Amino acid sequence: MLDLDISEFFDADGPLAQAMPGYRPRHAQVELAQAIESAMADRATLVAEAGTGTGKTWAYLVPAIVQGGKVLISTGTRTLQDQLFARDLPKVRAALAAPVTVALLKGRGNYVCHYHLDRLQGDERALKSRSEIAQLRQIQVFAGVTKTGDRADLAQIPEDADIWQRVTSTRENCLGQDCPRIRDCFVVKARRQAQEADIVVVNHALFMADLVLREEGVTDLLPEVDTVIFDEAHQLPDTATRFLGSSVSTHQLLDFARALEAAGLAYAREAAKWSDVSRQVETAARELRLVCAGLERLPGRKATFDAIPDPDVFDAALAQLRSVLDAATRGMLQVSEKHPDLATVARQGADLCVKLARWATPPRQGGGDAGWGEDANTPVADDMAQLAQNAPPWSGPAVRWVEQGQHHVRLHAAPLSVAQAFSRYRKSNQAWVLTSATLSVQGDFGHFTRQLGLADARTGRWDSPFDYPAQGLLFVPRDMPEPQAPQFAQRFVDSLMPLLEVNPGGALILCTTLRAVDRMAELLAEAFEEAGHDWPLLKQGQSTRRDLLEKFARLKHPVLVGSASFWEGIDLPGDMLTLVAIDKLPFAPPDDPVIEARLRACRAQGGNPFAEYQLPEAAISLKQGAGRLIRTETDWGVLMVGDPRLVEKPYGKRLWRGLPPFARTRDMGEALAFYQRHADQD
pLDDT single digits (tens) 216-259: 666 668 889 999 999 999 999 999 998 888 889 999 999 999 99
- What's the mean pLDDT in 389-407? 77
567-606 exposure pattern, b = at least 16 Cβ within 10 A, e = fewer = bbbbebeebbbbbbbbbbbbbbeeebbbbbbbbbbbeeee
How far apart, in Å, are the Cα atoms of 487 and each of 475, 481, 516, 520? 20, 7, 13, 12
pLDDT tens for each residue of 1-53: 556 789 999 999 999 999 888 888 999 999 999 999 999 999 999 999 999 99
- What's the mean pLDDT in 604-617? 93
Compute the distance between CA of residue 174 and CA of residue 495 in angstroms, rounded to an integer. Answer: 55
Kindly report the average pLDDT of the chain as a whole number: 89
- The residue among 2, 3, 63, 74 whose CA lies nearest residue 30 is 63
13 within domain boundaries = no
**pLDDT over 70 (residue 388):** no
7 within domain boundaries = no
| Pairing mode, strands 559-562 and 507-510 | parallel
Q: In what order do the strands lie in the sheet with 102-104?
A: 102-104, 199-203, 71-75, 227-231, 431-436, 45-50, 458-462
**pLDDT over 80 (residue 396):** no
Judged by DSSP in three states, 345 sits in: helix
- The residue among 592, 536, 669 whose CA lies nearest residue 238 is 592
Asked which of 81-95, 128-142, 315-329 is least confident by mean pLDDT, the reply is 128-142
Q: 228 and 286 share a domain?
A: no
Judged by DSSP in three states, 232 sits in: coil
Q: 517 and 429 share a domain?
A: no
188 within domain boundaries = no
The confidence band for 367, taking pLDDT boundaries of 50, 70 and 90, is very low
Burial tier of 482 (Cβ tally within 10 Å: 0-12, 13-18, 19+): exposed
Tell me what pLDDT residue 383 has. Answer: 64
- The residue among 322, 355, 77, 69 whose CA lies nearest residue 212 is 355
The H-assigned helical ranges of 49-113 are 56-66, 78-83, 89-95
Q: Where are the beta strands (DSSP E) in 526-644?
A: 537-539, 559-562, 579-582, 637-641
Tell me the helix, strand and coil percentages in the chain, rounded to 5.
50, 15, 35
Q: 530 and 662 share a domain?
A: yes
Q: 325 and 440 share a domain?
A: no
* Domain interval for residue 440: 26-101+197-242+420-462
Q: 114 and 155 share a domain?
A: yes
**pLDDT over 90 (residue 59):** yes
Residue pair 47/233 in contact (Cβ under 8 Å)? The answer is: yes
398 within domain boundaries = no
Residue 245 phi/psi, 5-degree rounding, is: -85, -170
3 within domain boundaries = no
18 within domain boundaries = no
Q: 159 and 135 share a domain?
A: yes
Compute the distance between CA of residue 278 and CA of residue 324 in angstroms, rounded to an integer. Answer: 9
Q: 282 and 219 share a domain?
A: no
CA torsion, ordered 640, 644, 648, 649, to nearest 10 deg: -110
Strand partners, 400: 413
- Give the end of a domain, one of 462, 495, 522: 462
Q: 92 and 212 share a domain?
A: yes
531-550 exposure pattern, b = at least 16 Cβ within 10 A, e = fewer = eeeebebbbbeeeebeebbe
127-151 exposure pattern, b = at least 16 Cβ within 10 A, e = fewer = beeeebeebbeebeebbeebebbbb
The confidence band for 499, taking pLDDT boundaries of 50, 70 and 90, is very high
pLDDT tens for each residue of 155-166: 888 877 888 988
Write down the pTM of the prediction.
Answer: 0.87
Judged by DSSP in three states, 49 sits in: strand
- The residue among 114, 173, 119, 182 whose CA lies nearest residue 146 is 114
How many domains are there within the chain? 4
- Give the end of a domain, one of 462, 491, 520: 462
218 CB-near residues (< 8 Å, 6+ apart): none
Q: 225 and 259 share a domain?
A: no
Tell me what pLDDT residue 425 has. Answer: 85
Q: 361 and 337 share a domain?
A: yes
621 within domain boundaries = yes
Compute the distance between CA of residue 582 and CA of residue 476 in angstroms, rounded to an integer. Answer: 10
The confidence band for 565, taking pLDDT boundaries of 50, 70 and 90, is confident
The confidence band for 110, taking pLDDT boundaries of 50, 70 and 90, is very high
How crowded is the C-beta side of 313, counted as CA atoms within 13 Å?
11
Judged by DSSP in three states, 336 sits in: helix
Compute the distance between CA of residue 329 and CA of residue 233 in angstroms, rounded to an integer. Answer: 40
Residue pair 285/407 in contact (Cβ under 8 Å)? The answer is: no
Compute the distance between CA of residue 646 and CA of residue 666 in angstroms, rounded to an integer. Answer: 11
Q: 87 and 115 share a domain?
A: no
Tell me what pLDDT residue 373 has. Answer: 46
Q: Where are the beta strands (DSSP E) in 8-128?
A: 45-50, 71-75, 102-104
- What's the mean pLDDT in 554-574? 91
C-beta atoms surrounding 258 within 10 Å: 13
C-beta atoms surrounding 122 within 10 Å: 8
**pLDDT over 90 (residue 530):** yes
325 within domain boundaries = yes
Q: What is the CATH number of the domain that holds 498?
A: 3.40.50.300
**pLDDT over 50 (residue 370):** no
Residues in the chain: 682
Tell me what pLDDT residue 244 has. Answer: 86
C-beta atoms surrounding 657 within 10 Å: 12
What is the 8-class DSSP label of residue 162?
A: T
Tell me what pLDDT residue 375 has. Answer: 43
Residue 475's H or E segment, with its range, is strand 472-475
Judged by DSSP in three states, 304 sits in: strand
Best-predicted range by mean pLDDT (76-80, 177-181, 530-534): 530-534
Tell me what pLDDT residue 378 has. Answer: 43
% pLDDT > 70, the chain: 94
pLDDT tens for each residue of 537-555: 999 988 888 889 999 999 9
Q: 269 and 338 share a domain?
A: yes
Decide which of 446 and 125 is more confident. 446
The confidence band for 172, taking pLDDT boundaries of 50, 70 and 90, is confident
- Give the end of a domain, one of 135, 155, 183: 183
Residue pair 572/553 in contact (Cβ under 8 Å)? The answer is: yes
